[in-house]
């Protein structure tokens, strides 16, 4: 298997053990994001990039058991059910997302497909291993935000002020880094932006661990869990073209 980004926090052996099946079907996707483990006819739930308890105590094993095992799995099951027997059966996930975006007759398919994609991107946006941006990525952060603390503040602000369910994102657009937020299942993929990193701010992402304290979850994400290496790799892949 060709590793397109660093599965931080696991050595290679651990990684292989916990994703033995998934690794067989990984291949390169856009922006360094691994393509989904899918057959021609079915969207599959990709393996977590770390063990379920690896993010504790900041995100508990119990939260991940529901968030990954029930919510993420649920979106996978829904999208497979909704596309069965339609022309979209057999489409890659991103093609389903792009071909249903903005179509009021296809909202349910878009919502479930985009949520499958967003959640896989979210799991990879976290790591049990503390990281600091370096090299070209650090330079871009300094140029576009005036430093890492400012970037973290913008991400925290976007995540905290997203009214109701949604996502905060670091994206790149025309060679600039930007922070944006999206509602519900909406995803930068359908707005001409390349996602580098995301924070899920749906209540199901934090309620078991933080109840209504969304800001405490956002702080833990940005101070303890954020996978800067994943963002840097995504950016490097964009710049490579
Ligand atoms: Mn979620």
Domain borders along the chain are 1-28+56-241
Compute the distance from residue 203 Cα to the ligand 1 centre, in Å: 8
Residue 159, token pair as written in the block? 């995540």
The average pLDDT across 205-216 equals 95
Compute the distance from residue 135 Cα to the ligand 1 centre, in Å: 31
What is each CA distance from 190 to 69, 97, 101, 182, 230, in whole angstroms?
26, 8, 7, 11, 21
34 pLDDT band, cuts 50/70/90, is low
The predicted-structure confidence for 162-203, as pLDDT tens digits, reads as follows: 999 999 999 999 989 999 999 999 999 999 999 999 999 999
Compute the distance from residue 108 Cα to the ligand 1 centre, in Å: 16
Compute the distance from residue 199 Cα to the ligand 1 centre, in Å: 9
Class of domain 1-28+56-241: alpha beta
Residue ranges of E strands in the chain: 166-173, 176-183, 194-200
The predicted-structure confidence for 103-157, as pLDDT tens digits, reads as follows: 999 999 999 999 999 999 999 999 999 899 999 999 999 999 999 999 999 999 9
Q: Tokens 């995540």 appear where?
A: 159
Compute the distance from residue 231 Cα to the ligand 1 centre, in Å: 19
């Amino acid at each position: 298997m060709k590793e397109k980004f660093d599965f931080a926090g696991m050595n290679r052996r651990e990684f292989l053990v916990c994703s033995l099946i998934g690794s067989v079907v990984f291949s390169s996707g856009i922006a360094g994001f691994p393509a989904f483990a899918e057959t021609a006819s079915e969207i599959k739930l990709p393996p977590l990039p770390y063990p379920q308890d690896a993010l504790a105590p900041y995100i508990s094993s119990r939260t991940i058991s529901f968030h990954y095992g029930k919510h993420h799995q649920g979106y996978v099951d829904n999208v497979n059910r909704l596309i069965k027997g339609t022309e979209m059966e057999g489409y890659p996930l991103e093609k389903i997302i792009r071909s249903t975006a903005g179509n009021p007759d296809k909202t349910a398919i878009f919502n479930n497909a985009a949520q499958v994609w967003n959640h896989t991107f979210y799991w990879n946006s976290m790591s049990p291993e503390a990281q600091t941006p370096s090299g070209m990525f650090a330079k871009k952060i300094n140029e576009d935000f005036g430093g890492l603390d400012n970037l973290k503040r913008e991400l925290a602000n976007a995540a905290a002020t997203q009214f109701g369910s949604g996502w905060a994102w670091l994206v790149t657009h025309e060679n600039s880094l930007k922070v944006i937020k999206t509602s519900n299942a909406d995803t930068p993929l359908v707005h001409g932006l390349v996602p580098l990193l995301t924070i899920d701010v749906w209540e199901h992402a934090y309620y078991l661990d933080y109840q209504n304290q969304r800001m405490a979850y956002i702080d833990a994400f940005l101070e303890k869990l954020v996978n800067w290496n994943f963002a840097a790799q995504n950016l490097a892949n964009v710049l490579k073209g």
